[in-house]
Amino acid sequence: MSATGRGPRRGGPDDCFPTPAWVVDRLLEAWAPRPGTLLEPAAGDGALIAAVNAKIGDRDWLAVECRATAVSALRSVGAATLIADFLTWEPKADGVDDVSAVITNPPFSRVEEFIRHADEICPAADLAFLVRLGFLASKARLALWTDVGMPDVYVLPNRPSFTGDGSTDASDYAWIVIPATDVDRHVGTFRVLAETPAAVRRPARSARPPRRAA
């Protein structure tokens, strides 16, 4: 994920928070994108794209990213790349007809905007978004679920680290999937995904030698 608005969570000057591969793996063990092009609207340096390709094989990707410095990294994972602000991007009439799924880890302060714009420009695509669990609640979400459909919720039992050092924040996370074929659906499903071992989630910490006794 790379975009402004995620708050002071040590994303560096570009506000970039790579998605851990294990977070993507857990989603893809429970849900599979349909054949077609996959769209990543907050592509960062392509960590999510690389994780999907590693898990289910190379797919055709369209990556939208706000930083021109990410072009080489995104091309290295096989993505057709567009440098643009996704929220103001208006593709050509037939430019996203073959997109079957939008998969992303969006800037958390702008999740609803990303969902609504993805639903607007890719109405035939499934939407898979990584969100904080707290995003699902509150009166403010009622209009969203009425407009785009009730999501299927896939809860991660382990908190991911987006900083590269294994540290986590105080939030719990889930993937939400809104199927394109059920825009007017009023019921979603709920599922807790498999646990991920600490050695996978925090490899840097697991590799540290044990402390010597005093």
Query: Which residue, among 80, 178, 86, 88, has the nearest Cα to 125 in the 3D structure?
Result: 178
Q: pLDDT tens digits for 121-149?
A: 999 999 999 999 999 998 889 999 999 99
Q: Could you give the C-alpha distances from 111 to 56, 105, 128, 200, in angstroms and in order?
A: 26, 9, 11, 27
How much is the pLDDT for 157? 96
**Arithmetic mean of pLDDT over the chain:** 88
Alpha helix segments (H runs only) across 31-87: 47-56, 71-76
Taking Cα atoms as reference points, which of 34, 13, 18 lies closest to residue 181?
34
- Show the domains of the chain with their CATH numbers: 21-204 (3.40.50.150)
pLDDT at 108: 87
pLDDT at position 183 is 62
Rg of the chain on CA atoms, in Å: 17
Residue 202: what pLDDT?
85
Span 37-45, mean pLDDT? Answer: 97
Position 92 scores a pLDDT of: 85
pLDDT, one tens digit per residue, over 148-200 is: 999 999 999 999 988 877 788 889 999 999 999 766 788 999 999 999 999 99
Spatial CA neighbour of 2 closest among 80, 88, 75, 63: 63
Going by pLDDT thresholds of 50, 70 and 90, the confidence category of residue 71 is very high
